[in-house]
Amino acid sequence: MPVQWYPGHMAKARRMMEERVRQVDVVIELVDARLPLSSRNPVLQELSAKKPRLVVMTREDLADPLITRSWLDAFASDNMMAVSVNTTNGNGFSQVRDGLRKLAAAKIQRALEKGLQRAVVRAMVVGIPNVGKSSFINQFAKRSVAKTGNKPGVTRTEQWVRMGDIELLDTPGVLWPKIDTAEQGLRLAISGAVKDQIYDMEEGLAFFLCFAGQHYPDLLQKRYGLSHVPAVRWTDLPTVWPQIADVVEEIGRKRGLLGRGGVVDEERVAKMVIKEVQDGVLGPMTFEWPASHLSETSSDPGNNLS
């Protein structure tokens, strides 16, 4: 069953965002480096049509570095300026500042022509829940101005945060993920963008085990000490389910996640594995690849940007 997730107040949120976009020179679009496409929402293009956009891929530390490079190239070939960051240690933030200045070059030039010493570049952060908006703003400001948390929906308060010549609105714009396919929904779910309560975690686990078995078998094998990692497609699940069930069983036994009568509790296995995936415990992984990456590899979770 595909993930269904429609938070309320969308129309109001959209109006507020339109108002705020008018106040800034550049919109910073945060996407998750592990799923840079599914964590975007095309509505932003409408909302920020006239403003330059900087795509910032968060969680670069959790993503597969080779595929992050491919995504950066894919954005560049689509004429979008993009950088990758780690909001927890500030890696990539100097490129963010450089990018903002480049995108606001016309304003800076006008200020210089007027004889001003420097222009202030105003920006705002937008992105789907849990993508790292508050962490980004805090890291940018190097102090705790926005609340962070690992549950969707914690960002509040409103003011400008000034760092040198760049001013950031400390209330990020929240976009909802656009879910066109079941795969997209499940990628969002296992990345933590969708609350645990509103999708079937056991389906999320089956999806992840198929994905990792095909693309990151060594990481999966190593983390859970598995005797066998099947390389099966999620779309074939009805027929390959017994192979995935064996993996769930083995993980459950090894971790002692048993229910009544010593039977493996699949829900507890799902919770444990998905939490570890979200925390990056298995190692760097990316859940979707740009189409351009496919020519260099043999596999299939490929996507076109446009």
154 or 294, CB closer to ligand GTP?
A: 154
Residue 263 labeled ligand binder: no
Q: Is 52 in the site for ligand GTP (CB under 6 A)?
A: no
State which residue, 243 or 286, has the beta carbon closest to ligand GTP: 286
Distance of CA 302 to the CA centre of its chain: 16
In the complex with ligand GTP, the residue whose CB is nearer, 61 or 165, is 61
Q: How is the chain classified by DSSP, letter by letter?
A: -------S-HHHHHHHHHHHHHT-SEEEEEEETTSTTTT--THHHHHTTTS-EEEEEE-TTTS-HHHHHHHHHHHHHTT-EEEE-BTTTTBTHHHHHHHHHHHTHHHHHHHHHTT-S--PEEEEEEESTTSSHHHHHHHHHTS--S---SSS-------EEEETTEEEEEEEEE------SHHHHHHHHHHTSS-GGGS-HHHHHHHHHHHHHHH-HHHHHHHHT-S------GGGHHHHHHHHHHHHHHHHHHHT-B-GGG-B-HHHHHHHHHHHHHTTTT----S-EEGGGGGGSS---EE---
Judged by CB under 6 A, which stretch of 43-51, 83-91, 95-103, 159-167 contacts ligand GTP? 83-91
d(CA 204, CA 165): 44
Cα angle value 57/293/61 (rounded, 5°)? 30
Q: Tell whether residue 221 is a contact of ligand GTP (CB under 6 A).
A: no
CB-based closest residue to ligand GTP: 132
* Number of residues located near ligand GTP, criterion CB under 6 A: 24
CB of 116 to ligand GTP, least distance (A): 33
Nearest distance, CB of residue 13 and ligand GTP, angstroms: 11
Question: Please, what's the largest Cα pairwise distance for the chain?
Answer: 79
State which residue, 172 or 252, has the beta carbon closest to ligand GTP.
Answer: 172
Among 7, 42, 153, 283, binds ligand GTP (CB under 6 A): 153
Is 225 marked within a binding site?
A: no
Consult the annotation and say whether 133 binds a ligand: yes
Q: Which is nearer to ligand GTP, 63 or 269 (CB)?
A: 63
The interface region with ligand GTP, picked from 70-78, 85-93, 101-109, 162-170 by CB under 6 A, is 85-93
Q: How far is the CB of 123 from ligand GTP (least distance, A)?
A: 16
In the bound state with ligand GTP, the residue whose beta carbon lies nearer, of 59 and 122, is 59
Q: From the list 150, 159, 181, 299, which residue makes contact with ligand GTP (rule: CB under 6 A)? A: 150
Q: Smallest distance from the beta carbon of 56 to ligand GTP, in angstroms?
A: 10
Encoded one letter per residue, x for contact with ligand GTP by CB under 6 A and - for no contact, window 273-292 reads: -------x------------
Which residues make up each annotated binding site for GTP? 130-135, 173
